[in-house]
């Protein structure tokens, strides 16, 4: 479902804890400034917040820069994956140490998508009684400064996902998302995809659990120069393969259904 941004008549602040999970790999040159921007933004609309930064096995000084940021701001937490596992792996690690209350957001470390999106996402989440609000490059009100080649890939991937999963959303891959904490905690332990197709796995499982997923417009300003930046042809192949694997586990093996039922039994 597509939703326009509500026109706020008064300032809106998060009513519970906001946790922002940021994966970081070899971001040493940028991460400290990025975290300063993110913290300054969040403080305008959240009284209670934390920023969990997951260093995903970086080989530069990312870890040191995150620790320095944490020293500057007690709301910033440093978490480490010893080995590089991919974005999905880093987000899973971050969610695993996040509080099971309030709201959990995913945000990229490159600031292509400004953290100010989170307050408008929160308005939509509350107005639509949603469990999840995701940014969509395909929303008619989105404003994109984005390479055409990547737009074409996004459109093709949307068509594939529509056929395979029948999701009502148009763009699963945009890096800013806001979840009710209980919704994302309910599915994140079962996420197996470690790299770029983790989004579809998360959203497919939430859809399976009848969570209400809503799309929101974004403003995207591409920051990293080259159209493909760190994405290589083999990453596109791996994303396609992982997407088919999620479909196989979900609809053929029924792996997720069995795993969730087993977890519920063990929790009793």
Q: What is the pLDDT along the chain (268 residues), one digit of tens a residue?
A: 444 444 444 578 999 999 999 999 999 999 999 999 999 999 999 999 999 999 999 999 999 999 999 999 999 999 999 999 999 999 999 999 999 999 999 999 999 899 999 999 999 999 999 999 999 988 889 988 766 666 777 788 888 888 898 888 888 889 899 999 999 999 999 999 998 789 999 999 999 999 999 999 999 876 655 444 556 678 888 889 999 999 999 999 999 999 999 998 887 7
Dist CA 129 CA 40 (whole Å): 27
* Cα 56 to Cα 261: distance, rounded to the nearest angstrom: 31
CB 236 within 8 A of CB 153: yes
Confidence (pTM)? 0.89
Residue 22's Cβ-count burial label (10 Å; 0-12, 13-18, 19+) is: buried
């Amino acid at each position: 479902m597509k939703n326009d941004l509500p026109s706020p008549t008064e300032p809106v602040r998060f009513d519970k804890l906001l946790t922002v999970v940021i994966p970081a790999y070899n971001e040493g040159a940028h991460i400290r400034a990025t975290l300063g921007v993110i913290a300054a933004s969040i403080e305008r609309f959240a009284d209670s917040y934390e920023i969990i930064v997951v260093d995903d096995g970086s080989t530069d000084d990312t870890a040191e820069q995150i620790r320095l940021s944490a020293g500057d701001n007690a709301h910033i937490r440093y978490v480490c994956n010893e080995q590089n596992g991919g974005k999905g792996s880093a987000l899973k690690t971050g969610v695993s140490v996040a509080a099971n209350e309030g709201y959990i957001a995913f945000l990229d470390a490159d600031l292509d998508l400004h953290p100010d999106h989170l307050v408008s996402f929160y308005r939509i989440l509350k107005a639509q009684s949603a469990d999840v609000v995701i940014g969509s490059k395909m929303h008619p009100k989105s404003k994109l400064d984005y390479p055409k080649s990547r737009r074409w890939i996004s459109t093709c991937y949307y068509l594939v996902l529509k056929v395979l999963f029948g999701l009502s959303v148009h763009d699963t891959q945009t890096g800013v998302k806001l979840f009710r904490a209980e919704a994302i905690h309910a599915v994140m332990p079962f996420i197996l995809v470690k790299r770029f197709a983790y989004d579809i796995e998360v959203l497919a499982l939430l859809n399976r659990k009848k969570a209400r997923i809503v799309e929101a417009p974004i403003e995207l300003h591409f920051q990293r120069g080259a159209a493909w930046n760190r994405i290589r042809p083999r990453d596109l192949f791996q994303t396609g393969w992982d997407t088919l694997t999620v479909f196989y586990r979900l609809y053929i093996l029924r792996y997720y259904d069995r795993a969730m039922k087993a977890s519920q039994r063990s929790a009793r």
